[in-house]
């Protein structure tokens, strides 16, 4: 499966008003193409910080399910976030990592993700459940389970680097993204 | 100023989430914060993570306080530039002013010398805190945060919090 297919599967299987914090670049843009939602927060930059923002939201909105749509390049830049999430145990947090083993937005330069079992790092850090997934049917099953069980969940999704058409930039200003997201709460 | 009084006046003003990285100048405040619940105070592993956490807390409806040494300001300038400064996310940021009073500490001199210049270059509003936070000053800061929706920085000098 490629990244867009994985994102589409996730969006299609949401149960309702889950809050999604998106990492910058292609991940935000492809999710926007799949379905733009007012509960979507797109980071335009701030590489490495999607999971920090999501953790902040999750701690202060314990009644809402918070999903972070992260990438391997992003997560490698902010590995300390895994330690923090493991330590704080936010039960409403689902951490998805679209792992294409590359910096996709800047031209697929390789990351060190192939040498590093991210899902095991998450497990050791203290996530309640951690998975590595390669196939769509398993992704659907595990993601659906994560929506109705106690987290934090870590779901590393292996995706190909194939991109049929580079997605356009998010057409909103940063302030508009924030205002809309806060209105959705 | 006593750190507990400082903390209490912030809470009374509506700051309900604290996150950051310690500094010896901020240690008395950290001592107060470390008594608090983790949904109220999160010790961040890095200063840029603190900026991210604070942004998340604000999105979720809480006015945040971030604390860090000025060395950490260098680590997270980009986090400020690409998050609160463009999304319009307010936060009170307590930054220790290491350098000027640390002649024996070579590692703080360069950052100390340029800290205020960094605030000016990035058009980030700040003032120096030497140990007094009057009700009217805090009210003005709060007003700035609410009206401008931007971070406000307090540079904390040596011994200002005890």
pLDDT value, residue B63: 97
Q: Does B146 touch chain A (CB under 8 A)?
A: no
Between helix B47-59 and helix A50-60 the angle, nearest 10°, is 50
The model carries a pTM of 0.96
Across the range A10-24, mean pLDDT stands at 97
Tokens representing B20? 């950051």
Do the chains contact at B53 and A56, CB–CB below 8 Å?
yes
Q: Does B39 touch chain A (CB under 8 A)?
A: yes
B161 lies in some domain: no
Residue A17, pLDDT > 90, answer: yes
B61 lies in some domain: yes
Residue A7, pLDDT > 90, answer: yes
Domains of chain A with bracketed CATH: 3-183 (3.40.50.970)
DSSP three-state, residue A66: strand
Q: Does A25 touch chain B (CB under 8 A)?
A: no
Interface test with B, best of A20, A21, A25, A46 (most B CBs within 10 A): A46
8 Å CB contact between A104 and A71:
yes
DSSP three-state, residue B101: coil
Which residues of A44-139 form beta strands (DSSP E)? 66-71, 93-99, 102-103, 109-110, 129-133
Q: Which residues of A touch B42 (CB under 8 A)?
A: 55, 59, 84, 88
- Of B29, B35, B31, B34, nearest to B92 by C-alpha is B29
- Of A111, A114, A102, A116, nearest to A161 by C-alpha is A102
Q: Does A170 touch chain B (CB under 8 A)?
A: no
Across the range A42-47, mean pLDDT stands at 97
pLDDT value, residue A164: 79
Q: Using DSSP bridges, classify how beta strands A102-103 and A109-110 pair: parallel, antiparallel or unpaired.
A: antiparallel
pLDDT value, residue B129: 97
B11 lies in some domain: yes
Tokens representing A162? 């194939």
B76, burial (CB in 10 Å: exposed 0-12, middle 13-18, buried 19+) = buried
Low-confidence ranges of chain B (pLDDT < 50): none
B96 lies in some domain: yes
* Domain membership of residue B143 as a residue range: 3-156
8 Å CB contact between B56 and B31:
no
Do the chains contact at B60 and A60, CB–CB below 8 Å?
yes
In total, the C-beta contacts within 8 angstroms joining chain A to chain B are: 112
Across the range A67-84, mean pLDDT stands at 97
Of all residues in chain A, what percent carry a pLDDT higher than 70? 100
- Of A3, A146, A91, A118, nearest to B38 by C-alpha is A91
The residue of chain A with its CA nearest to that of B49 is A52
Across the range A69-80, mean pLDDT stands at 96
Q: CB-CB: which of B46, B54, B78 is closest to A56?
A: B54
pLDDT value, residue A70: 98
DSSP three-state, residue B48: helix
Q: Does A44 touch chain B (CB under 8 A)?
A: yes
- Of A93, A104, A81, A94, nearest to A25 by C-alpha is A104
In which band, very low, low, confident or very high, does the pLDDT at A159 lie, cut at 50, 70 and 90?
Answer: very high
Determine the distance in angstroms separating the CA of B45 from the nearest CA of chain A, rounded to an integer: 6
- Give the contacts of A56 (CB within 8 A, at least 6 positions apart): B17, B19, B52, B53, B54, B55, B56, B57, B58, B59, B60, B64
Q: Which residues of A touch B54 (CB under 8 A)?
A: 56
CATH, residue B47: 3.40.50.970
Interface test with B, best of A43, A52, A180 (most B CBs within 10 A): A52
- Of A132, A138, A68, A73, nearest to A100 by C-alpha is A73
Across the range A63-90, mean pLDDT stands at 97
Long-range pairs for B121-126: beta carbons < 8 A, 24 or more residues apart: B122/B77, B122/B80, B122/B81, B122/B85, B124/B80, B124/B85, B124/B150, B124/B151, B124/B153, B125/B150, B125/B151, B125/B152, B125/B153, B126/B95, B126/B152, B126/B153, B126/B154, B126/B155
Q: CB-CB: which of A57, A84, A175 is closest to B44?
A: A84
Dihedral sign from CA coordinates of B65, B139, B84, B131: negative
Tell the residue number behind the tokens 């936010």, with chain if given.
A90
B162 lies in some domain: no
Residue A43, pLDDT > 90, answer: yes
Q: pLDDT of A79-95, one tens digit each?
A: 999 999 999 999 999 99
Beta bridge partners of A97: A70, A156
B101 lies in some domain: yes
Number of structural domains in chain B: 1
pLDDT value, residue B39: 84
What ipTM is given for this predicted complex? 0.94
Interface test with B, best of A49, A66, A68 (most B CBs within 10 A): A49
Q: Which residues of A touch B89 (CB under 8 A)?
A: 178
- Give the contacts of B102 (CB within 8 A, at least 6 positions apart): B108, B109, B112, B158
pLDDT value, residue A36: 97
Q: CB-CB: which of B46, B56, B88 is closest to A53?
A: B56
B129 lies in some domain: yes
Across the range A140-157, mean pLDDT stands at 98
Task: Report B:45-74 residues touching A (Cβ under 8 A).
Answer: 45-46, 48-62, 64
8 Å CB contact between B21 and B50:
yes
Mean pLDDT of chain A: 97
Do the chains contact at B51 and A49, CB–CB below 8 Å?
yes
B16 lies in some domain: yes
């Amino acid at each position: 499966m490629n990244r867009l297919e994985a994102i589409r599967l996730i969006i299609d299987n949401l149960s309702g008003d889950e809050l999604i914090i998106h990492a910058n670049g292609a991940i935000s843009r492809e999710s926007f193409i799949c379905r733009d939602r007012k509960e979507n927060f797109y980071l335009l930059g701030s590489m490495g910080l999607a999971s920090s923002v999501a953790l902040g939201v999750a701690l202060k909105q314990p009644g809402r399910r918070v999903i972070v749509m992260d990438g391997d390049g992003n997560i490698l830049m902010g590995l300390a976030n895994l330690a923090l999430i493991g330590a704080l145990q936010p039960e409403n947090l689902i951490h998805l990592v679209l792992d294409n083993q590359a910096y996709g937005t800047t031209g697929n330069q390789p990351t060190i993700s192939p040498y590093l079992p991210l899902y095991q790092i998450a497990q050791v850090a203290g996530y309640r459940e951690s998975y590595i997934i390669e196939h769509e049917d398993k992704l659907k099953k595990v993601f659906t389970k994560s929506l109705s069980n106690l987290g934090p969940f870590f779901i590393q999704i292996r995706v190909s680097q194939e991109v049929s058409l580079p997605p356009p930039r998010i057409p909103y200003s940063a302030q508009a993204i924030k205002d809309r997201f806060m209105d959705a709460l | 100023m006593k750190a507990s009084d400082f903390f209490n006046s912030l809470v009374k003003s509506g700051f309900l989430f604290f996150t950051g990285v310690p500094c010896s100048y901020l240690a008395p405040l950290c001592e107060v914060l470390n008594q608090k619940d983790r949904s109220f105070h999160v010790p961040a592993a890095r200063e840029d993570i603190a900026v991210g956490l604070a942004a998340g807390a604000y999105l979720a409806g809480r006015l945040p306080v971030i604390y860090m040494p000025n060395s950490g300001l260098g680590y997270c300038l980009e986090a400020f530039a690409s998050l609160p400064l463009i999304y319009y996310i307010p936060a009170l940021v307590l930054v220790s002013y290491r350098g000027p009073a640390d002649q024996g500490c070579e590692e703080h001199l360069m950052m100390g010398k340029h800290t205020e210049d960094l605030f000016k270059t990035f058009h980030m509003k700040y003032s120096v805190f030497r140990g007094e936070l009057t009700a009217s000053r805090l009210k003005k800061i709060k007003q700035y945060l609410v009206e401008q929706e931007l971070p406000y920085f307090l540079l904390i000098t040596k011994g200002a919090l005890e």
